Structure 1
Amino acid sequence: MRRKIHRARRAFAPALAAAVSILAAGAATAQSGPLSPMPYDAERGVFSFAGGLERALPAVVQVTTLGRSGGPTSGDNEPRPISAGSGAIIDAREGVVVTNNHVVEGGRKFTVDLTDGRIFDAVLVGADKATDLAVLRIEAEGAALGLAQIEVANSDALRTGDLSFAVGYPLGLDQTLTMGVISGLGRSGMGDRIEDYIQTDAAVNSGNSGGPLLDSRGRLIGVNTSILSGGGGGNDGIAFAVPSRIMMYVVDQLRTTGEVRRGQTGAILGSLNPERSRDFGLGFVRGAVVEDVAPGSSAEAAGLRRGDIITRIQNRLVSNAGTVAATIGIAAPGSTLEVVYLRDGREGRAALRVDPDSERAVAVGAEAAVARGITVRLTADGLQVAAVEGGSPAAAAGLLAGDVLERIDGAPATVLADLNALEADGEHRLSVRRNGEVVEVVLP
């Protein structure tokens, strides 16, 4: 076995040397042009992305949130640190910092630490729970502070396989840079209302929240917001970032009005999955299913019907219901969205108007309702779960398609309007009938 390994090494060594020589030659001959296969530092003789990234790093800050501690106090009323995360300065002149809502939630005061050791107080401009974004402003004259500012790139131009770099202050460390690739786009089902995440395998840990996800030129393409961990909360190579397209809309709204005004269309949507694709006789599993249309809504006026499969919105491919919800969620009320859908195997188009609406966690229509990741239909058997969104609170609780809801928080559930009880924050106890037996489920 050892001889085989040595032979493999000898066979591989010339190929490796040739590849490195080609890269180095290409880099050396294309220093001033865009054709270099990798950024090459001729002075040090190494391949490096430092040249592009170093311009962004001074704009990545540590955010500390101070509030009233839940533990015993010593009698003073001074706020204490209750959470910490990361952020990025996107407007140096105004001292504007973008971070996560969950980093600043519950805070009374905020501080921003720069890489040069300076620390400033900051005020909360506004926060948006639906996208987990928040905006802070440094309480000083930004233009006079010599702050750095991060460049923002269009996340719609991203491709799976692009290099990505996460920057932040994880696990109590000083500023840390990790590298990976874009693992996927348009991810949803993690439980938030507005989801169209960038997935990356760049290492993201506690403390990275709110920090930027950068491309290889050091431009912000997303805001790191969550990870999917197999246990213990550590990094398993699956992290999610809010794309810059959504971030810029939310930031502009928060800076202008202090809140995000969203609209609705009256379409209740579920995600297409392999099981539902077979039911519809389709040969694909990407799209959003129109579960129901509210009477008098803009979706009804646009001609959408129950069973339509939305495949594109605003010329973007639809991966699932999250893609549509995210597009509607950053569309100004009164605007119109172009939708492409399939009905009985034929393609149709609709102009979908976005109407003003208040934030709701539950959407109830005439024949179906969507709440916390479940799509429920009123059938002869009762309130039956038609679909469960992957990664949603309902999926985490163990709810299954085919379950029949009998009680919600102890009260009988007989009509779709009873699902409005799930609007309230906190856990909810559900009694469901499954294969003839009653199962108790706790919905987070």
Structure 2
Amino acid sequence: MRTKHLHPLCKPLLWPLLLVLLLGLSLPAAARLPVEVDGEPLPSLAPMLERTIPGVVNLATRGRVQERGSPLFDDPFFRRFFDLPQVPRERQTQGLGSGVILDAEKGFILTNDHVIRNADEIVVTLHDGRRLDAKVIGTDQATDLAVLKVAAEGLQALPVADSDALKVGDFVVAIGNPFGLGQTVTSGIVSALGRTGLSVEAYEDFIQTDASINPGNSGGALVNLRGELVGINSAILTRGGGNIGIGFAIPVNMALQVMDHLVEYGEVRRGRLGVSVQDLTPDLARAFGIEQTRGAVIARVERGSPGARAGLREGDVVTRVNGRVIRNAAELRNAIGLLRVGSTVELEILRDKRTRVIRTQVGEIQVSTLEGGRISPRLEGAALGEIQEDSPLHGEVEGVVVVRVAPGSPAARAGLRPGDLILSVNRRPVTSLEDVRQAAGAGGQRLLLNLRRDNSAFFLLLQ
């Protein structure tokens, strides 16, 4: 064996390595593959996975989406010059993902909203090979969760753990259907907790893990070594479309709260206190004269809101909600937004360097909407609303939100989707419904919308 190309640090290890290899070749086959050491069986995840894998399913979807063509065809001057009609184009989509059975008796399956979004057909494949059609019970784009229902006997639900008890360094296992290969298991640890900022529009509190999560794993299970569900695999940070060791899962405690809303109402009815909040920074802590470095500062209290009636004030620092530590504004927004409307909430706050406890009832977010058909026939079927103070978008961007779009309506055929943010109409920036009305009236027979969708922005011409 040649050694001249080895790094110098490797040469002293070469002869012991050769000796081990020679000894290994002389041992019987059973000795090279031991099943136990000192009479104890080797550790294995296989027994746990045998119980757990049947609770994770594969999803296949089909649907249709409006397809945008070249930006030139959306330019009104280009279209007018060549006298080109606007022809909506559709393309068929197919998708793969995963899901977790959480109620075997009722057939409820939890998955990601982005896995089944725009799907006309959803097929669930169980571990035993059965293929079932699934019905959508409800979806929530803000948390990227959806609940499906199947009718079948012999389903096996996953047991659930308390995701609040997770710690960085805990071992976890991801189960899903990456790249459509079929059920696949990967292992790793909890790399971080409370990750936010992946999307401005979302309610986020991600578990970060280095267990390999790839396209197709979305909606699958993240379990602990007891086989208990701790999270729903949702996203990855990647540069080339594959796993680089940074994956994200929605904590199961949050997922269950969303699931309860979706099963009962078909949507998430978010609670509100009627306050605007911001992170407690070291500079703000020094300005308030407190040693606390984590929390959510109340910047504004809406008159007549639940927070105002409870006695909350500007400058109060919220440190706990129902006993749970609040580290930043996003955690407070998550905690309140997922509570049931009318439920009592206990807030621990710092005011004038003293800790106080305030109790109040969670109110309902009142979203004033305007039917798009009252603005323009081209917006028929869409409902528009202003950004509320409780929204994650508030203070981050300016615009008007597309609250809902009726299937098959002119707005839907034109390509509008719920959650789209209208930044401008006919090249006029809009921040209110009245702005939209005035800008639309100045555009004659056409509407040129500048939209923000997910992490992209584009123009959409309606005429």
Give how far 1:130 is off.
Answer: 2.1
Superposition map of 1:26-425 within 5 A: 45-68=41-64, 81-140=93-152, 142=153, 146-190=154-198, 191-229=200-238, 231-358=239-366, 362-364=387-389, 372=393, 374=395, 411=428
Give the letter aligned to residue 222 of structure 2. Answer: L
- Aligned positions, number: 358
1:54-83 Cα offsets, whole Å, 9 max, x none, are 2111111111121126579xxxxxx95522
Mark the CA change 1:375 to 1:295 in structure 2 (over 3 Å): closer, same or farther.
Answer: farther
CA contact (8 A) 1:189 1:322 kept: no
The more displaced of 153-162 and 192-201 is 192-201
Give the letter aligned to residue 363 of structure 2. Answer: D
**Corresponding residue of 2:451:** 427
Give the letter aligned to residue 212 of structure 1. Answer: A
Give SS of 1:149's match.
coil
**Corresponding residue of 1:23:** none
Alpha-carbon distance between aligned partners in 2 of 1:41 and 1:293, rounded to the nearest angstrom: 65
Give how far 1:148 is off.
Answer: 2.2
Q: TM-score, normalised by structure 1?
A: 0.70
Q: TM-score, normalised by structure 2?
A: 0.67
CA contact (8 A) 1:186 1:319 kept: no
Give how far 1:278 is off.
Answer: 5.0
1:299-344 Cα offsets, whole Å, 9 max, x none, are 1112211222111111111121121111112211111111111223
Alpha-carbon distance between aligned partners in 2 of 1:362 and 1:213, rounded to the nearest angstrom: 34
Mark the CA change 1:199 to 1:281 in structure 2 (over 3 Å): closer, same or farther.
Answer: farther
Give SS of 2:349's match.
strand
CA contact (8 A) 2:137 2:147 kept: yes
Give the letter aligned to residue 194 of structure 1. Answer: Y
CA contact (8 A) 2:194 2:207 kept: yes
Give how far 1:96 is off.
Answer: 1.7
Alpha-carbon distance between aligned partners in 2 of 1:426 and 1:353, rounded to the nearest angstrom: 39
**Corresponding residue of 2:444:** none
Alpha-carbon distance between aligned partners in 2 of 1:239 and 1:171, rounded to the nearest angstrom: 15
Alpha-carbon distance between aligned partners in 2 of 1:223 and 1:202, rounded to the nearest angstrom: 13
Q: Which runs of 5+ in 2 are unaligned?
A: 1-5, 17-35, 69-90, 368-384, 399-422, 439-448
CA contact (8 A) 1:85 1:169 kept: yes
Alpha-carbon distance between aligned partners in 1 of 2:246 and 2:286, rounded to the nearest angstrom: 29
Alpha-carbon distance between aligned partners in 2 of 1:41 and 1:294, rounded to the nearest angstrom: 66
Give how far 1:132 is off.
Answer: 1.2
Give how far 1:195 is off.
Answer: 2.0
Give how far 1:258 is off.
Answer: 2.1
Alpha-carbon distance between aligned partners in 1 of 2:140 and 2:247, rounded to the nearest angstrom: 20
Mark the CA change 1:166 to 1:426 in structure 2 (over 3 Å): closer, same or farther.
Answer: farther
Give SS of 1:55's match.
helix
Give the letter aligned to residue 374 of structure 1. Answer: G
Give SS of 1:47's match.
coil
CA contact (8 A) 2:203 2:392 kept: no
Alpha-carbon distance between aligned partners in 1 of 2:291 and 2:14, rounded to the nearest angstrom: 46
Alpha-carbon distance between aligned partners in 2 of 1:428 and 1:118, rounded to the nearest angstrom: 40
CA contact (8 A) 2:388 2:394 kept: no
**Corresponding residue of 2:84:** none
CA contact (8 A) 2:424 2:451 kept: no
Alpha-carbon distance between aligned partners in 1 of 2:62 and 2:366, rounded to the nearest angstrom: 30
Alpha-carbon distance between aligned partners in 2 of 1:316 and 1:60, rounded to the nearest angstrom: 30
Alpha-carbon distance between aligned partners in 1 of 2:130 and 2:59, rounded to the nearest angstrom: 12
Give how far 1:251 is off.
Answer: 1.7
- RMSD between aligned residues: 3.8
Alpha-carbon distance between aligned partners in 1 of 2:177 and 2:452, rounded to the nearest angstrom: 35
1:246-302 Cα offsets, whole Å, 9 max, x none, are 222222222233222222110111223445445545545421111211011111112
Alpha-carbon distance between aligned partners in 1 of 2:249 and 2:171, rounded to the nearest angstrom: 14
